[in-house]
Amino acid sequence: MSGYTLAVIGCGTMGVAILSGVFDSQRSQQESQNGGGASLSSSIASLSTAAGEDDLTQLPTRFIACVNRAESVRKLRKIFQGANDVQILAQSNVKAAEQADVILLACKPNMVKDILEEEGMKEACDGKLVISICAGLRIQQMREWVTPSTKVVRAMPNTPCKIREGMTVLTPLPSDLASSKLDRSILLSIFSAVGKCRFLDEKHFDACTALAGSGPAFACVFLEAMADGGVMMGLPRAEALELAAQTMQGAARMVMQSGMHPAAIKDSVTTPGGCTIAGLLNLEDGNVRSTVARTIQAAAQHAAGLGQVKK
């Protein structure tokens, strides 16, 4: 489907992150096609092909960002200043859905029911692909608020989408759906443009919400703690933070690119009687492994209750 419109309803922090990444990738792709040389989008495409899953062949060409408050409108106009392909609407959810081919729900989970039950919204979404990034809100719940022909999919992205380093998990489409292949390509294109994406059954989404969705916050706590340790030992704050951030990024890339288990990478830099094993034993004394794993468990259990009716 070429030349389609993507509408983001509830375009807050995550909506802006996704919309910005997709828009930039689409623009880079256009520049490349117009003879602008190798683009970032092309680089992503080549890496994605190697991964065997991601896709950038079905990017939207027009974008609608819909918000409620005038303050949010001003913020979005500043962010997308000069972007003629991005239309910004206020309190016009139905209008945005009517004009769109693909609809992304990026609002708070407790707002979805009211939005989908607005007068005219069912008809506006009929037969279209509706993607929800709302944590805890089940597909079965949303299907009760739309027409039977509306295609509802869940996605769980994270904030690094803003710099096109995100991780998004998607629910699979029914295999017997006539448009399944095209819709899958659209989903992969949108979320491959802002990082990596994979399909997983909905039963895994609470864990994905905790691990990928909340994960950047947990990683930043560890990153901050590493930098604090450097400051404690005399390093200037800026340099300590740079060393810690680059070290974490490098370690993560080693896991991704080499396919090595983190324990193998850890062992490769742990020499007998060295400073690394001394530090590792201190981590073990602090139950860091158990604490981090239990943190994911607690966040996943909390995610399961989001979007559900409180008794």
User: What DSSP string runs through 253-311?
Assistant: HHHHHH---HHHHHHHT--TT-HHHHHHHHHHHTTHHHHHHHHHHHHHHHHTTTTSPP-
Report the pLDDT value the prediction gives residue 202, as an integer from 0 to 100. 94
Q: Inter-axis angle of helices 13-33 and 40-51, to 10 degrees?
A: 100
**Separation between Cα atoms, residue 74 and residue 66, nearest integer Å:** 12
Q: Are 152 and 142 in contact (CB under 8 A)?
A: yes
Q: What is the pLDDT along the chain (311 residues), one digit of tens a residue?
A: 667 899 999 998 888 888 888 887 777 776 766 665 444 434 434 434 334 455 677 888 889 999 988 889 999 998 888 777 889 999 899 999 999 999 999 998 889 999 999 999 999 999 999 999 988 889 999 999 999 999 999 999 998 988 889 999 999 988 788 788 899 999 999 999 889 999 999 999 999 999 999 999 999 999 999 999 999 999 999 999 999 999 999 999 999 999 999 999 999 999 999 999 999 999 999 999 999 999 999 999 998 887 665 55
Report the pLDDT value the prediction gives residue 305, as an integer from 0 to 100. 82
Report the pLDDT value the prediction gives residue 179, as an integer from 0 to 100. 84
What sign results for the dihedral spanned by CA atoms 193, 196, 201, 206?
negative
Report the pLDDT value the prediction gives residue 210, as an integer from 0 to 100. 93
State the Cα torsion 235-237-238-242 to the nearest 10°.
70
Report the pLDDT value the prediction gives residue 309, as an integer from 0 to 100. 57
